[in-house]
């Protein structure tokens, strides 16, 4: 997945700055007054918390959709890199909002910050592998972007699985393991089926290549 803009280091510094700002203001902004919305308990009625949560949900759903678009589109110039770029920048907002939400409820949500950091970091690594054409960049790009998507879904189910039909009947460990158990075979399949990797493999095994 590709796209122009800020590099990972600059993005990390920017998000870190905003996260630190909200941590310092945490005592003033956070009120422990849970509210109930459509049967789902929201842990705070703080306007800042609700705004960050709203952005997190909206961009998170869009990010999941962009990831599906990138996975289903053919791996060539056109829709695939466009969906990939959209996924990456939506994920940037998801990560930033997750950092704010986690900072405001660190004891309860620090694990979601860790998952968000890993998801954004692996996506950034996969994006850099593509843009800089590192050695084995195709395998690295596919693996990192796939892992980023798995981590994104893992964070969602860890946080919300207990409120979802069918998922609420599963033990909590399933929220951590099932996204990876389902997603890893897709990564392996993509690595085996990618047309450029097939061409590289064929060129290595031709008689001319062996001489």
Per-residue pLDDT of the chain (211 residues; tens, 9 = 90+): 544 455 555 655 555 555 555 555 554 445 567 676 666 677 777 788 888 899 999 999 999 999 999 998 887 888 999 999 999 999 999 999 999 999 988 988 999 999 999 999 999 999 999 999 998 899 999 999 999 999 999 999 999 898 888 999 999 999 999 999 999 999 999 888 876 665 554 444 444 444 4
- How far is the C-alpha of 4 from the C-alpha of 88, rounded, in Å? 10
Angle at 113 between CA 111 and CA 115, to 5 degrees: 70
Backbone angles phi, psi at 164, to 5 degrees: -100, 140
Tell me the CA distances in angstroms from 142 to 29, 51, 110, 130, 192, one per residue in order.
40, 33, 28, 9, 11
pLDDT given for residue 105 in this prediction: 87
- How far is the C-alpha of 11 from the C-alpha of 13, rounded, in Å? 5
Alpha carbon 189 to its chain's center = 20
Q: What single DSSP character describes residue 40?
A: E
């Amino acid at each position: 997945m590709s796209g122009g803009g800020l590099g990972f280091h600059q993005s990390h510094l920017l998000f870190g700055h905003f996260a630190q700002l909200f941590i310092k203001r945490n005592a003033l902004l956070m009120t422990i007054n849970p509210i109930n919305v459509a049967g789902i308990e929201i842990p705070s009625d703080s306007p800042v918390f609700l705004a960050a949560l709203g952005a997190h949900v909206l961009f998170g759903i869009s990010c999941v959709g962009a990831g599906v678009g990138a996975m289903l589109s053919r791996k060539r110039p056109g829709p695939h890199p466009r969906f990939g770029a959209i996924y990456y920048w939506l994920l940037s907002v998801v990560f930033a909002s997750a950092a704010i939400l986690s900072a405001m409820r660190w004891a309860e949500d620090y694990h979601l910050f860790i998952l968000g950091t890993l998801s954004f970091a692996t996506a950034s690594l996969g994006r850099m592998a593509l843009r800089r054409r590192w050695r084995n960049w195709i395998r690295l790009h596919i693996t990192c972007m796939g892992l980023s998507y798995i981590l994104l879904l893992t964070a969602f189910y860890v946080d919300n699985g207990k409120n979802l039909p069918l998922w609420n009947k599963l033990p909590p460990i399933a929220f951590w393991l099932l996204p990876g158990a389902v997603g890893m075979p897709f990564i392996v399949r993509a690595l085996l089926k990618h047309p450029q990797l097939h061409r590289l493999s064929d060129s290595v095994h031709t008689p001319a290549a062996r001489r």
